[in-house]
Chains A and B, each alone.
Chain A
Amino acid sequence: MSAEAKNHPFHIVDPSPWPFVGSVGAIALAIGGVMYMQGASIFTILPGFAIIIYTFYVWGRDIVREANAGSEHTPQVRHGLRMGMVLFIASEVMFFFAFFWAYFNATVPAISATATGIWPPEGVVPFSTWGLPFVNTLILLTSGATVTWAHHGLREGNRRTLKLGLALTIVLGLLFTSLQAYEYANASFSFTDGIYSSTFYLATGFHGFHVIVGTIFLMVCYFRSLKGDFTNEAHVGFEAAAWYWHFVDVVWLFLFCAVYWWGSAGYIPAG
């Protein structure tokens, strides 16, 4: 169908098996996950997980092929793709909104009868705000700058800047994830220690998961840039990855200010 002459600027996509395959992966992951939660081995989630990863790979590969073929991704189609990414990020913002709500529900007595106004709760030793959390803030902010630098390089046709900027951003992303893992490993409170650790680990944990996804997205862009993908004009994949990275960055700023900074201001060291 796509081979025939078109009278409109839109992309009529050929039939694809991946949506169906991906849904099979989703239901397999759900059932495997429930079995795991009921006490089965962690390996029960592997089949579903593998199918989903495979679906992401082949689906993404198809999109890249269509993009590189050139004729289908017209300016109007690219506009739609960017719009879709913005909307997806908007929904992600609302996902984090729920975890921030849970956090403020536990900390602000004016909105919840169970919040005592004492935060962190007695016995919890929070992280020192201006130690590792602040270093991580600087790392993520710097990575936001390097990805913008890469974008400028791409727009000006400077492929060296593009590759270097992307590589730096990826390294900074991996560094952030490593430091976050180090922080988790050295926390004075565990996952099951009550509402403080619940809000802390789910909010920062989902952020960390998004950092990992964003890093992978940037890696895909890096390898595509090595292959010579993206032009000065048309590089929706890069833009989507960069926007996603900035979104992850902004969520971190809110987490740093609310959870790490304001959230440990009421801490009184014992003795």
Chain B
Amino acid sequence: MAHDDHKPGFFKRWFMSTNHKDIGTLYIILSIIAAIIGGAMSWYIRLELMEPGIQYIDDFQFYNVLVTAHGFLMVFFVVMPAMIGGFGNWFVPLMIGAPDMAFPRLNNISFWLLAAALILLVIAGLTGGGPGTGWTVYPPLSSAEYHPGPAVDLGILSLHLAGASSILGAANFITTILNMRAPGMTIHRMPLFVWAILVTAFLLLLALPVLAGALTMLLTDRNFGTSFFIVEGGGDPLLWQHLFWFFGHPEVYIIILPAFGIISQIVSTFSKKPIFGYLGMAYAMCAIGVVGFVVWAHHMYMTGLDVDTRAYFTAATLVIAVPTGVKIFSWLATMWGGSIDFKTPMLYAFGFIWLFVVGGVTGVTLANAGMDTVFHDTYFVVAHFHYVMAIAAIFAMFGGFYYWIGKMCGRQYNEGLAKIQFWIFFIGVNVLFFPQHFSGMAGMPRRIPDYPDAYAGWNYVSSIGAFITMAGTFLFLWIAYRTVTSGEKIGANPWGEGATTLEWTVDSPAPFHTHEVLPDMTGKAPAE
């Protein structure tokens, strides 16, 4: 088996790759770069908001650009590349016993299109005042009248490329999972992370083209004289909101479903038990995916929807609490009676569950059209979605990184430092985002660089939390650097009996080509 570790030269290996592990690594590197940029923007925002009045940012368009770019970067260039492109590429083939992805060249262009999209987004931010539209890009703010110049067009084309990247990646993952499972690896034996990626890929495949259509209409409205969103021409700005959120709501599940998958692997591994209610867990994700397509207008309660429509969207949105409840309780039931090992990935799984429950509860609050009338566009919403998808997703990414880094680079992280990093980060994000519930309930508006003195207290606390989080982030970068350069070398399975999935049967680091002899899973128990 000597030839299975034969690697091409540097340029061929990293610029012409058709190897799922190398492409996964490229995605993770891109994600870290984008996270540093997007994180720096959020710290600058918190610095400005630390006290009432204007501290640093006297150009309010620039403030809007920071908010916009922070959102785009974190959604499209940090979380999605890390979880789907990074961990998905690395571990879906390993977990199902496949030698690579179904379409290796397509896999590579998915990555390079995303890199091109990131470059375009950076250019957009540096051109003509930048796009200050918010990540939702609502017209008329995003129209040629209020955003003349090329910045918004560059942003639109950046999203087009990112979308094309994701659609191709989604088709690749679905084909890989449905067509390339090892003998005996039936659908109902797949690890839950693979299930999560499968459902996520279907959401990507069906939601992103709708965004592409909407972006195209916005582009022609801005540059070629169409009137899709322009009232004077008989168009309708609300059409944009419908199309955007028809994509946008599945998009937030695209972000959180892979996190569910990672957390399921970690909880099972470190409880040394199979996951409780495996089938229920898998089909809960399917249910979340399906229902995610019929709740979009809960983002639009304040746009004059009639009362029946609001009643429907409230009811449909509340339904989502059922399958997500199935997941939370199944994780807890998996731990129940387990021999729990409090390694860093498991700490991050606990952290994830806490954050997701807090964000989920405020989600139920906001699902009600009546409550949302009060909370709409306040920091209560900011606190909600940062808890439920942003920070929760980041926790799953950290958990996944600590869980799998040994498999990816053959070296283990420093457990003591990593635990310290977890506690700094956990305290940081809660000090950062929990007070925003209070300022939001008191009426503090989103996307505004200044605020009345009444909100000063909780904003100050929130900014302190941001600096603690920043310290946790830098400690993470240090740990990651030390791990890949001088971490302790490890064997195939550093986690012991709880780690039952196929990636732990191959060497660490995983050889360049794996599963060249397909593993036979016939008659084996479900992977979890």
Contact = CB atoms under 8 A, between A and B. Distances in A.
Interface of A: 1, 4, 6-8, 10, 12-20, 22-24, 26-27, 30-31, 33-34, 37-38, 59, 76, 79-80, 83-84, 87-88, 90-99, 101-102, 105-106, 112-115, 121, 191-192, 194-199, 201-202
B32 to A, nearest CB: 20
Interface in B181-228: 205-210, 212-214, 216-217, 220-228
Interface in B222-278: 222-228, 231, 233-236, 238-239, 242-243, 246
Contacts of B100: 10, 12-13
B115 to A, nearest CB: 7
Interface of B: 3, 6, 8, 12-13, 15-18, 98-100, 102-106, 108-109, 111-113, 115-116, 119-120, 123, 149-150, 153-154, 157-158, 160-161, 164, 167, 170-172, 174-176, 178-180, 205-210, 212-214, 216-217, 220-228, 231, 233-236, 238-239, 242-243, 246, 304, 513, 515-518
B225 A191 contact: yes
Contact of A195 (B99, B102, B233, B238): B233
Nearest to A62: B105
13 contacts: A7-B518, A8-B518, A16-B108, A19-B106, A20-B109, A23-B116, A37-B153, A76-B179, A94-B205, A94-B210, A97-B209, A101-B239, A192-B225
Given A91-B167, A198-B226, A198-B235, A22 B112 contact: yes
A136 B516 CA distance: 52
Given A76-B179, A101-B243, A121-B234, A19 B98 contact: no
B234 to A, nearest CB: 4
Nearest to B127: A34
Given A16-B18, A88-B171, 15 more contacts: A19-B105, A22-B109, A23-B112, A26-B113, A30-B161, A31-B120, A38-B149, A80-B179, A80-B180, A97-B210, A102-B213, A102-B228, A113-B304, A121-B234, A198-B226
Nearest to A197: B226
A112 B238 contact: yes
B112 A19 contact: yes
Classify the interface of chain B: helix, strand, loop or mixed. Answer: helix
Contacts of B160: 30
A31 B151 CA distance: 11
Nearest to B22: A15
Contact of B242 (A1, A96, A101, A194): A101
A59 B105 contact: yes
Contact of A191 (B12, B149, B207, B226): B226
A23 B115 contact: yes
Given A114-B234, A195-B233, A6 B171 contact: no
Contact of A34 (B98, B157, B212): B157
A34 B175 contact: no
A92 B209 contact: yes
B172 A84 contact: yes
B187 to A, nearest CB: 15
A207 B137 CA distance: 26
A8 B99 CA distance: 8
Most buried by B among A113, A195, A196, A202: A195
Nearest to B513: A12
A91 B516 contact: no
Nearest to B3: A4
Contacts of B119: 27
A142 to B, nearest CB: 29
A102 B217 contact: yes
A199 B230 CA distance: 13
A98 B105 contact: no
A10 B164 CA distance: 25
B308 to A, nearest CB: 11
A97 B179 CA distance: 28
B227 A98 contact: no
A97 B247 CA distance: 12
Contacts of B236: 105-106, 112-115, 195
Contacts of B210: 94-95, 97-98, 101
A123 to B, nearest CB: 11
Most buried by A among B8, B116, B123: B116
